[in-house]
Amino acid sequence: MKRMSNLNAERIVEILLDPGLIEATVRRPPRSRRWVAVFTGVEPGKQVWRTTGLTDREAALALARQWETEARQKRIALGVLAKKPTIRVRRGSGEAAIGLLTQKEVAAVLGLSVRAIREIERRAFEKLRRHPALRRFWREHLVGKVDEDAAAHNLLKSEIVALFGLTRTPLERRALRKLLGMILADRHGL
């Protein structure tokens, strides 16, 4: 559960407000011990797959992020327009493993199409990046001026049972379990 603590509300907002979103990741091919870095190269939208030669995942990820930062600096120097950042959770990914919802699961919970969720997500990220009140709130939160009331997020057992009663499909139930898991993990500081 170490990765859950790295992806808390503060980290998500930090990612959203960062104009140079880092999307670097590492993959380990089957039958290999060495990690391969996957990052955005000098051409925006073009992924680069480059072996790190490392067997330690954290060290390989740090190297991948460094390579992506260098590629971003080259793009800026060349005046290349950057691709708009996105955050995706795919089935079987590390994000899904820690309990984040896929677009399909969000669509099931909200009763919308995946395409509608994708468009809503795009517009929401754009609004969050531009909104001055969110930027002001985040600056206040970082210096400790904002006090969050953890008791406001407590659900009663009867409320949880009622939520499960509203689900219609196994996908909706699975998505609701993930949401409740994230709430409990956040409440207990996991």
**pLDDT, tens only, 45-91:** 678 899 999 999 999 999 998 998 888 888 777 765 555 555 667 66
pLDDT (tens digit, 9 = 90+) per residue, 10-56? Answer: 666 665 555 555 678 899 999 899 999 988 887 766 788 999 999 99
Per the structure block, which two tokens stand in for 120?
């809503």
For residue 71, give the 3-state DSSP assignment.
helix
What is the per-residue pLDDT for 157?
84
Secondary structure tally for the chain: helices H, strands E:
9, 3
What is the C-alpha end-to-end distance of the chain, expressed in Å?
6
Per-domain boundaries in the chain: 22-78, 94-187
pLDDT category at 3 given cuts 50, 70, 90 is very low
Measured in degrees and rounded to the nearest 5, phi and psi for residue 154 equal: -80, 135
Query: What's the pTM value of the predicted model, to 2 decimals?
Result: 0.36
